[in-house]
Amino acid sequence: MSTPAYSELTLNGLWKNNPAIVQLLGLCPLLAVTGNVVNALGLAAATTLVLACSNTAVSVIRNVVSDAVRLPVFVMIIASAVTCTELLMQAFAFDLYQILGIFLPLITTNCVILGRADAFASKHAVAPALYDGLIMGLGFGVVLVMLGAVREMLGTGALFADMQLLFGASAASWKLVLIDDYQPFLLAILPPGAFIFTGLMIAGKNLIDSHIKRRQDALKARPVKGAKRVRVTGTIS
Amino acid sequence: MALMRVSSPHAHGSYSTGMVMRQVLLATLPGVFMLTLFFGFGTLINVAWACLVGIAFESLALFLRGRSLTFYLKDCSALVTCVLLGIALPPYAPWWLIAVGVAAAILMAKQLYGGLGYNPFNPAMVGYVVLLISFPVQMTAWAPPRGLADVPNLWEALQACFLPAQFDGVTMATPLDILRQNQGLLMEDLWAQTPQFGRWAGIGWEWVNLAFLAGGLWLLYRRIFTWHAPVAMLASLTLMSALFYAGGSSSSGGSPLFHLLSGATMFGAFFIVTDPVSSAVSVRGRLVFGALIGVLVYLIRVWGNYPDAVAFAVLIANFAAPFIDHYTQPRVYGHGKSGGTG
C-alpha cells in the first residue's frame, strides 16, 4: 500500500476523518470527562501518547504477526502502552490521575486506538504510523478540549480552573472568571450536555463543509476566462 | 401547519392548526386565573415574558431555516408551548431562567428536530426539565398561596422577574414536598399540623387543578382531542394512589383525591398528555400512553427525588410512543391479525 503524504495525514486526522466528530469513536471518554478544560487536556494528552506508542509498536511488528492473531497482539500492545501512561500520570499528575479514575485504563478499549492500529499502523512504515498516531491524537484532543472549554464556560462561568493539576502550582492562578455571580448551568456539565454540545459541534463541522463545497462548486461553474461565443447574427457597427 | 388533502368526501369544517392552538390557549385561561388568584401575578408575568421570548426565538429559527415567518407564526404553536411552559414554571422566576427554558423548548426540542409535527418530545416539558436539572434551587422555589403569606403586588412581581437581585421572595414547601418528606405522621395528623393543606389537597392547588380540569373538559367538548389519553392517565394515577394509600398510615403515598388535585396533574392530563405530535396515535395506543404516564407520575412523586413528576413522566412516555404505536396499530378492515389478508 502506498504511503499517503504527511499533509494528507494531517488533514485527515484534524478535519476530514477526525476521530471524535467524524468517526464518532471514543465517545465514552469524550462524553464523560469533558466537564472542564483540565480533565479534557489530561485525557487528550494520555490518549495521544498511547496512540503514538501503540501505532509505532504495531508498525514495527507488522511483518512478523500473522493476520489471525493480530487483534489480540494489538490489544496487548495497547494495554501495555496504557499501563505505562497510567504510571506516568501517577508519578507526575497524581491528583488528575485520581480525577480521571477509570477513564485512564479505559483508554485501552478506546476504538480510536485499535482502529488506527488495525487500519493504518499495521499497513504502513514506522514514521508515517507514528505521525498518524500523533495527528489523530491531536484531532481527538482538540475536540475534547473545545468541548471541555464550552462546557466549563456554560457550566461554571469560568475557564481554566484547576490547571495546577496538570501544570504545577503556578498554574493555579490561570483561572479566568468570565462572569461574576454566575448561576451554574448544570445541564452543560451533566452527561446530556456533553451529548448536546457534541451534536452541535458535528453540526458546525457539517455546516463549514457544505459551505466550502458550495464555494468550490461555484468556482467550477464559472466559465473559463477568455472563452467567447461566436457572434452569428447582425454586425457590429 | 395544516396538511391540505383534497379528496372525497370534501367535508368542510375541520379545524386548522391555528384554530386548535387558539382554543387550547383559551382553555388555559381558568387555570391561569386561579394561579394568579392564589399565587399572585408571577404566573402572568412568566407567561407574558415566555411568549415574548418564544416569538423571538421562533422567528430567529424560522429565518435561519428560510421558512415563511407569517405562515408558521400564525399557527400559534410557539405561543402554546410558551404559555404551557410559563404556567409550569414557579411564579416569580427570574427573566433569564424563563429565557433559557424557552430557548431549550423552541430552539432545541422543536426547531432542531424540524419544527411542529416532527418533535418527538413535548417542547414545553423539555424546556421545563432542562431548567429543573440545571437550576434546581430556582425551580423548586414555589411561592406560598394567598392566605398563608402576603402575595407580592404587580410591581414586586415585575421586580422579581426583571431585577431578581432586589427581590426578597418568600417560598414554602408545596403539599407534594411535604408528603414526600413525611416521616412517620399519620395522614390525618399531617393534615392537621401543616397549614398548606386545604379541603382535598393543598390550599390553592385544588382550585388550580379544578380550573385546568374545567378548561380541559371544554376542549374535550370542542373535540380538540379525544378522551382516551387524559382519562387513562387520571385513572391509572387514581388506581396507583388507591393501591398505596395504606389506610392513611404514615407510609401512605396520599389519597387518590390528593393526587388528582395536586401539582400539575390536571394541567398535565389535559394540556400536556394530549399533545398530538409527541403522543401515541391510535386509540388503544393513547390509552396505553396515558396509563403509562399516570403510573410514572405516581412512582416518581412517591419514590422519586423530584417534587412533581409530570414532566419526567411525559418525556419517558414520549420515548415509548413509537413503540406503543407499533404494538397497537389498528387492524385494517379485511386484513388478518398478522397483517396479511385473512
B138 contacts in chain A (CB < 8 Å)? 183
Q: What is the mean pLDDT of residues A216-228?
A: 75
Q: What type of residue sits at position A223?
A: P
Q: What is the mean pLDDT of residues A30-58?
A: 90
Percent of chain B clearing pLDDT 70 (strictly above): 94
Query: What is the pLDDT confidence band of residue B229, given thresholds at 50, 70 and 90?
Result: very high
* Interface residue A207 vs chain B (CB under 8 A): no
- Asked if the Cβ–Cβ distance from B135 to A190 is below 8 Å, we say no
Q: What is the mean pLDDT of residues B271-294?
A: 92
A183 contacts in chain B (CB < 8 Å)? 96, 135, 138
Closest partner residue to B133 among A183, A186, A196, by Cβ?
Answer: A186
Q: What is the mean pLDDT of residues B70-97?
A: 91
Instruction: Report the chain A residue with the minimal C-alpha distance to residue B112.
Output: A200
Q: State pLDDT tens for residues B125-138.
A: 999 999 999 998 88
In the predicted structure, residue B320 carries a pLDDT above the cut 80: yes
**How far apart (Å, rounded) are the C-alpha atoms in residues B189 and A68?**
74
In the predicted structure, residue A224 carries a pLDDT above the cut 70: no
Query: What is the pLDDT confidence band of residue B292, given thresholds at 50, 70 and 90?
Result: very high
In the predicted structure, residue B171 carries a pLDDT above the cut 70: yes
Residue closest to B147 by CA, chosen among B182, B198, B191: B198
Distance from CA of A152 to the nearest CA of B (A): 14
Q: State pLDDT tens for residues A95-142.
A: 888 888 888 888 888 888 898 888 888 888 999 999 999 999 999 999
Instruction: Report the chain B residue with the minimal C-alpha distance to residue A154.
Output: B134
Distance from CA of B62 to the nearest CA of A (A): 17
Query: What is the pLDDT confidence band of residue A237, given thresholds at 50, 70 and 90?
Result: low
Distance from CA of A7 to the nearest CA of B (A): 35
Q: What is the mean pLDDT of residues B90-113?
A: 93
- Asked if the Cβ–Cβ distance from A185 to B135 is below 8 Å, we say yes
In the predicted structure, residue A212 carries a pLDDT above the cut 60: yes
Q: What is the mean pLDDT of residues B140-146?
A: 84
Local structure of B142: helix, strand or coil:
coil
Size of interface A-B (CB pairs under 8 A): 18
The grid coordinates listed for A78 are 495497547
* Interface residue B130 vs chain A (CB under 8 A): yes
Question: Residue A231: its pLDDT value, please?
Answer: 64
Higher pLDDT among residues B337 and A114, named by residue: A114
Q: State pLDDT tens for residues A179-190.
A: 777 888 888 888
Burial class (CB in 10 A: 0-12, 13-18, 19+), B146: middle
Task: Return residues 155-194 of A near B (CB < 8 Å).
Answer: 183-188, 190, 192
Question: Residue B177: its pLDDT value, please?
Answer: 82
Buried-state track A97-128, b at ≥16 Cβ within 10 A, e below 16: bebbeebbebbbebebbbebbeebbbebeeeb
Distance from CA of A171 to the nearest CA of B (A): 29
Q: What is the mean pLDDT of residues B322-333?
A: 87
Distance from CA of B59 to the nearest CA of A (A): 20
Closest partner residue to A187 among B96, B134, B138, by Cβ?
Answer: B134
Could you report how far apart the first and last alpha carbons of chain A are, in Å? Answer: 64
Mean pLDDT, rounded, of chain B? 87
* Interface residue B163 vs chain A (CB under 8 A): no
Percent of chain A clearing pLDDT 90 (strictly above): 34
Distance from CA of A128 to the nearest CA of B (A): 41
Say which residues have a Cβ less than 8 Å from residue A58's Cβ, sequence separation at least 6. Answer: A74, A77, A117, A121, A122, A129
| Domain spans in chain A, listed from the N-terminal domain onward | 6-208
Distance from CA of A185 to the nearest CA of B (A): 5
Question: Residue B329: its pLDDT value, please?
Answer: 84
Q: What is the mean pLDDT of residues B257-262?
A: 90
In the predicted structure, residue A225 carries a pLDDT above the cut 80: no
B134 contacts in chain A (CB < 8 Å)? 184-188
- Asked if the Cβ–Cβ distance from B133 to A196 is below 8 Å, we say no
Query: What is the pLDDT confidence band of residue A230, given thresholds at 50, 70 and 90?
Result: low
Distance from CA of A192 to the nearest CA of B (A): 10
Question: Residue B248: its pLDDT value, please?
Answer: 78
- The DSSP secondary-structure symbol of A61 reads T
Query: What is the pLDDT confidence band of residue A223, given thresholds at 50, 70 and 90?
Result: low
Asked which of A9-13, B115-119, B227-231, B310-314 is least confident by mean pLDDT, the reply is A9-13
Question: Residue A94: its pLDDT value, please?
Answer: 87
Q: What is the mean pLDDT of residues B313-327?
A: 93
- Asked if the Cβ–Cβ distance from B108 to A190 is below 8 Å, we say no
Question: Residue B237: its pLDDT value, please?
Answer: 94
Q: What is the mean pLDDT of residues B221-250?
A: 90
B65 contacts in chain A (CB < 8 Å)? none
Instruction: Report the chain B residue with the minimal C-alpha distance to residue A183.
Output: B135
Higher pLDDT among residues B99 and A1, named by residue: B99
Burial class (CB in 10 A: 0-12, 13-18, 19+), B201: buried
* Interface residue B96 vs chain A (CB under 8 A): yes
Instruction: Report the chain B residue with the minimal C-alpha distance to residue A187.
Output: B134
In the predicted structure, residue B342 carries a pLDDT above the cut 70: no
A186 contacts in chain B (CB < 8 Å)? 133-136
**How far apart (Å, rounded) are the C-alpha atoms in residues B237 and B295?**
6
Higher pLDDT among residues B140 and A134, named by residue: A134
The grid coordinates listed for B47 are 407567561
A196 contacts in chain B (CB < 8 Å)? 108
Question: Residue B13: its pLDDT value, please?
Answer: 64
